[in-house]
Amino acid sequence: MRIPVTIVRGDGVGPEIMGAVLAILEAAKAPLAYQEVYLGQAAVQQGHPTGISAEALKAITQTGVLLKGPLMTPQGGGFSSVNVALRKLLDLYANVRPARAYGPYVATLHPRMDLVVIRENEEDLYVGQEYRQTPDVLQAAKITSHRACERIIRYAFDYARLHKRKKVTCLSKDNILKKTDGCFHAIFKTLSLAYPEIEAEHLIVDIGMARIVHKPEHFDVIVLSNLYGDILSDITAQLSGSVALGPSVNIGPEVALFEAIHGCAPDIATRDCANPSGLLLAALSMLGYLGQEAVAERIENAWLATLEAGQHTPDIYTPERSQHKVGTHAFAQAVIQRLGQKPHTLKPASRQASLKPLSREPEIPQKSLNLKALDVFMHWESSQARQHLETLKTLQLPHWTLACVQGRGLEVFPSTLVWPQFCDYWLCRFVPQEATAPPQAAIARLLTALAALREGKFVQVQVVYA
């Protein structure tokens, strides 16, 4: 009986590498039945402006498994990222990206590298909430929730335990982003106590990435928020020998999505030179997810034997290590010819552990929100900011006290170190004069008074809770 799987060939090199992967799966007699749908540019051309049709989404949720080629995302305009939208629509909260070196057959400076990047997949700056605040200032919202942090960190520790990994490293920037990244780090510290057999370490993201680039063999499982994880997983894939070797697994409670980490590479599309390995390794993870570990191991061993035989696509070809420079189709045929073989030097495949979520769903913390302040962001021209501040200080505002004013994070009231130059975006913090929160009407009166100022205008209001 064949297992139903949804596939998307994708854009750019997508159709070529998908064709190669499907040929290998078919030759290995993987018991799969494919249902093809269209996403991204192809869906837009069919009249779906978001790049996702209801029919495609229904097919994916019915099979619960999607094998996807890379999709084009327009830069600076056009439709939003279909990849990001799918992760949110299907609740694919965990992104798993292994990076392993294949030396001496694939050139790498780190032949003992074997790590896994586990990335939160739905929040952070990837929510895509961006705004123009003033003629000079644009803003992007970094969203962090307790639930998302707990889910991905639990998944990372569960993954490490199940796959017999010894260490989980958390990277964050909580020395600067004390609330958002601070939440991620704090939950990591708490949850690590439930996994005493696994070493837990935390590093600031910048020095952490530097150390990973320098000595990736010292790392095992790395858990990060969305943007940091996206950056690091491409770095680690390239460190392994080529970004085209990197598989990407997106896991949710009901659906899983499997893809290569690289983009659609339109500059080499239709030239029969793209490396299908990233998508192939993702497909092997899909087979393991579906309980077809034996087929996955057979294909992976043939793939490893192909690397050992020096049959290399242009991205990993070197005269010193390679026997033949082959195209996408020839590489797939080389893998097919070695089905049933095992590598002689590289570690043979072993795919027995599941990728499915194990831990319970986290409980959203029950916390009462007490109004601490009201931050009002004003558009003041830099040359007139001092004058506007003096006017603001004279306003009679029942229930409120002007606590501070900042420009680009530098305080100009009540203490002044230096006035920032070329700043037209100012944070004005108002705190309640009494211990109890002011009524909603008092907030409305404050905003009305600010709106009535002759010069300058408020562009954003943020309620600050304790």
What's the rounded Cα separation, in Å, for the pair 326 and 245? 15
More confident residue, 36 or 454: 36
Has residue 140 got a pLDDT over 70?
yes
What confidence score (pLDDT) does residue 286 get?
Answer: 96
Q: What percent of the chain has pLDDT over 70?
A: 97
Has residue 33 got a pLDDT over 80?
yes
How far, CA to CA in Å, does 254 sit from each of 251, 289, 301, 357, 449? 8, 12, 29, 10, 51
Secondary-structure breakdown of the chain: helix, strand, coil percentages, each rounded to the nearest 5: 35, 20, 40
List the beta strands (DSSP E) in 135-226: 138-140, 167-172, 199-204, 221-224
What confidence score (pLDDT) does residue 46 get?
Answer: 83
Asked if 84 contacts 122 with a C-beta cutoff of 8 angstroms, the reply is: no
Among candidate residues 83, 27, 86, the one with its CA nearest the CA of residue 61: 86
What is the average per-residue pLDDT within 69-93?
Answer: 80
What confidence score (pLDDT) does residue 85 get?
Answer: 85
Among candidate residues 231, 115, 225, the one with its CA nearest the CA of residue 174: 225
pLDDT tens figures, 420-444? 888 999 999 999 988 777 778 888 8
What confidence score (pLDDT) does residue 96 get?
Answer: 97
Domain boundaries, the chain: 1-90+252-349, 109-240, 371-465
Asked if 216 contacts 110 with a C-beta cutoff of 8 angstroms, the reply is: yes
Label residue 48 by pLDDT band (50, 70, 90): confident
The two tokens of residue 29 are 């007699």
What confidence score (pLDDT) does residue 76 get?
Answer: 56
Q: What percent of the chain has pLDDT over 90?
A: 73
Q: Chain-wide mean pLDDT for the chain?
A: 92
Q: In what order do the strands lie in the sheet with 32-36?
A: 32-36, 3-8, 65-68, 256-260, 247-251, 94-100, 114-120, 221-224, 167-172, 199-204
Has residue 447 got a pLDDT over 80?
yes
Look up the pTM and report it. Answer: 0.90
What is the average per-residue pLDDT within 321-325?
Answer: 95
The C-alpha angle 267, 272, 274, rounded to 5 degrees, equals 65
What confidence score (pLDDT) does residue 105 get?
Answer: 95
Has residue 159 got a pLDDT over 80?
yes
Partners of 464 in beta bridges = 373
- Domain 109-240: CATH superfamily is Isopropylmalate Dehydrogenase (3.40.718.10)
What confidence score (pLDDT) does residue 306 get?
Answer: 98
What is the average per-residue pLDDT within 6-19?
Answer: 96
What's the rounded Cα separation, in Å, for the pair 190 and 26? 46
**230 phi and psi angles, rounded to 5 deg:** -65, -45
What's the rounded Cα separation, in Å, for the pair 262 and 69? 10
Among candidate residues 20, 19, 6, the one with its CA nearest the CA of residue 86: 6
Let me know if the fold of 1-90+252-349 is the same as that of 109-240. Answer: yes
* Domain 371-465 CATH assignment equals 2.40.50.100: no
More confident residue, 30 or 370: 30
What confidence score (pLDDT) does residue 41 get?
Answer: 80
Among candidate residues 299, 288, 312, the one with its CA nearest the CA of residue 343: 299
Partners of 401 in beta bridges = 431
pLDDT tens figures, 375-411? 999 999 988 899 999 999 988 888 899 999 999 989 9
What confidence score (pLDDT) does residue 254 get?
Answer: 92
- For the domain bounded by 1-90+252-349, which CATH number is listed? 3.40.718.10
Asked if 12 contacts 4 with a C-beta cutoff of 8 angstroms, the reply is: no
The two tokens of residue 249 are 């697994």
What's the rounded Cα separation, in Å, for the pair 234 and 117? 10
What confidence score (pLDDT) does residue 42 get?
Answer: 80
Asked if 18 contacts 10 with a C-beta cutoff of 8 angstroms, the reply is: yes
What confidence score (pLDDT) does residue 75 get?
Answer: 57
What's the rounded Cα separation, in Å, for the pair 174 and 292? 41
pLDDT tens figures, 232-270? 999 999 999 999 999 999 999 999 999 999 989 999 999
What confidence score (pLDDT) does residue 53 get?
Answer: 87
What is the average per-residue pLDDT within 347-361?
Answer: 79
Among candidate residues 435, 459, 458, 454, the one with its CA nearest the CA of residue 394: 454
pLDDT tens figures, 360-375? 677 777 777 888 899 9
What confidence score (pLDDT) does residue 457 get?
Answer: 81
Following DSSP, what letter does each residue of 326-343 receive, concatenated? --HHHHHHHHHHTTT---
